[in-house]
Amino acid sequence: MKTIGLIFGTRPEAVKFAPIIKALQEDARFTPILISTGQHREMLDSTLAEFGITPDLDLRVMRDKQTLSQVTHRILEGISDGDHLAGMDAVMVHGDTASTLAGALAALHQQIPIIHVEAGLRSGNNLSPYPEEVNRKLVGQIAALHLAPTMGNSANLIREGIPENRIVVTGNTIVDALEWGLQNLGSYGDAALEDLDDDPRRVIVATSHRRESLGQPMREIAGALFDIAQDPGVRIVVPLHLNPLVRSIMLPILSGLDNVTIVDPLPYLSFCRLLVRSDIILSDSSGAEEEGPALGKPTLVLRDITERQESILTGSSRLVSRSRPHIVAQVRHLLDDEDAYREMAEAINPYGDGCATQRTVAAVAHFFGRGPAVMPFVPGAEPVRVAA
């Protein structure tokens, strides 16, 4: 039996790790040890509770007004102290957060093999997203096994000199998590949304939180939402990030508009229900870039560049930058042109088929000589949809 430490600290990591955690817990070949850094305290705890997951260790590293360097240092120190990784056969990290980088470094310092889930994503710009682009590139240089969601991610790793036999294309487990979520939908999670199912207006879900969006770019986004809200035939739902900087920009512009509903961040299952009800998704969130295509929802990406190029290429999402007039024009195009809307809604979902967890566990087993090689995920010609 192989002992694997899974290190995570943010809500997106928890969502994407949850199917893997469940599968490893049910597999007699593995003993998973769950280490939470607590990087996103409130949203992380509620998400873990929804999935019925309890960490074996909670580092509780967050303090008020910490810098990125301080957060990364505290996570690395917290993992390294106390022999928390002693006896582990591998450490699994996900994506590109401070928890990812610090967890990988802690494993490297103890010469424990690193398994990198959601490996190989690249925007090509070290400052966008920042610091995520650099984090994942650094982890890519020290990981022993790279679990890439797509063939494009695998190609990125190969170009960087990673041996092909250390890469497995699995698909993204966010699709697996979404399938589970849609089988367990509850309420909308906020009384202000309970009339959504009876509302005949077209629903736009809008989120923005990225560090590079703060300041004038976010004011452009908020202004675009204000302009779109002048159409009485739409309803905009804004799950607003808890970051005070985000709120200080969004609230003065959007508060008081009759067809803009502002709510606090929703529980995962409630957010799944909201996405199902939506007609258009407008977001700078990486999760939304993947969830939208899986649900057949046209997704407009509020960024200038993205590491998730696959849905741009298939047409299920579109980069619309953070320019107020451009955002408004792109939304109006989808609202006014049924053919354009249908083309995006029916485009191929390139991110997964609901079997990424199965491939992930099989790849880990093969890594330890406990199973055969894994057939890679390849999107088919037909759209793969997660049915509500």
What are the counts of helices (DSSP H) followed by strands (DSSP E) for the chain? Answer: 15, 13
Residues in the chain: 388
- Annotated catalytic residue within 74, 94, 209, 235: 209
308 a catalytic residue: no
The angle at the Cα of 338, spanning 334 to 343, to the nearest 5 degrees, equals 80
Could you tell me the end-to-end alpha-carbon distance of the chain, in angstroms, rounded to an integer?
A: 37
| Pairwise CA distance, residues 241 & 40, whole Å | 12
Catalogue the E-assigned strands of the chain: 2-8, 30-36, 57-58, 90-94, 114-117, 145-148, 167-169, 202-207, 234-239, 260-263, 280-283, 299-301, 317-319
96 a catalytic residue: yes
SS3 sequence, 316-339? CEEECCCCHHHHHHHHHHHHHCHH
The helix/strand/coil state of 298 is coil
CB 322 within 8 A of CB 302: yes
211 a catalytic residue: yes
- Annotated catalytic residue within 13, 118, 231, 310: 118
Extract the tokens encoding 242: 């808890």
241 a catalytic residue: yes
- Annotated catalytic residue within 96, 133, 231, 310: 96
User: Residue 12 to residues 17, 174, 329, 342: CA-CA distances in angstroms?
Assistant: 8, 9, 30, 29
122 a catalytic residue: no
- Annotated catalytic residue within 41, 211, 370, 385: 211
- Annotated catalytic residue within 58, 132, 220, 290: 132
209 a catalytic residue: yes
| Pairwise CA distance, residues 274 & 186, whole Å | 10
Catalytic residues: 96, 118, 132, 209, 211, 241
